[in-house]
Amino acid sequence: MDVKKLTQCALLTALTFVVTRFIQVPIPLGYFNIGNCIILLGCVLIPSPYGVIAGSLGSALADLTSFPVYTLPTLVIKALMPIVFYFFLKKGEEHKYAWGIAGEIVSTLIPLVGYTLVGGFLYGGLVAGLAQVPGLLLEYAANAVIFAVFLKPILAASKAINREYANE
């Protein structure tokens, strides 16, 4: 185990938890937050599986302390999201910004669909689950804008971190 990567994973887990848990706007069947942005920007900085663990665990802990019924679905949904995102990052070695944006857009469809289905299951049907879609779409649009603004500086920081790993 790499202590540096574990430390980064722990920090990203904590940051994901704090941002998701304490910066919330209520929407039907849940809440709006910028946790997805933090998860995916963190995935640019730390390698898989650390980013997957940090995103899923940080988000699940936020749900455990606010909407506990969503804890297990969140653990799964927020693990799948960075897995898809990492696929895009690996694909776009030469054009990381463009592939990062594409990865953000595609990977955030997972929670959109996932939470709609889980909400439908928990609250009595797909129509109930669909009640949260407008709020989730607004959340994902806000996350996408914030992600696009911060991706270039995070990519630059990522290059420095990767050089440091290569020198070890």
Quick one: pLDDT at residue 11? 96
Q: Judge contact between 29 and 69, C-beta under 8 A.
A: no
* CA 31 – CA 27 distance, rounded (Å): 5
CATH class of 3-166: mainly alpha
pTM of the model: 0.89
Q: Judge contact between 45 and 154, C-beta under 8 A.
A: yes
- Whether cis (ω within 30° of 0) applies to the bond prior to 49 is yes
* Residue whose C-alpha is closest to residue 147's, from 39, 9, 58, 52: 39
Taking 80 as the threshold, does the pLDDT of residue 27 lie above it? Answer: no
* CA 128 – CA 121 distance, rounded (Å): 9
Q: Which residue has the higher pLDDT, 165 or 147?
A: 147
Q: Coil, strand, or helix at residue 104? A: helix
* Angle at CA of residue 39, ends 108 and 55, nearest 5°: 100
Both tokens assigned to 89 = 């990052």
Both tokens assigned to 166 = 């290569």
Taking 90 as the threshold, does the pLDDT of residue 57 lie above it? Answer: yes
Ordered by start, the domain boundaries in the chain are 3-166
pLDDT digits (tens, 9 = 90+) for 107-120: 999 999 999 999 99
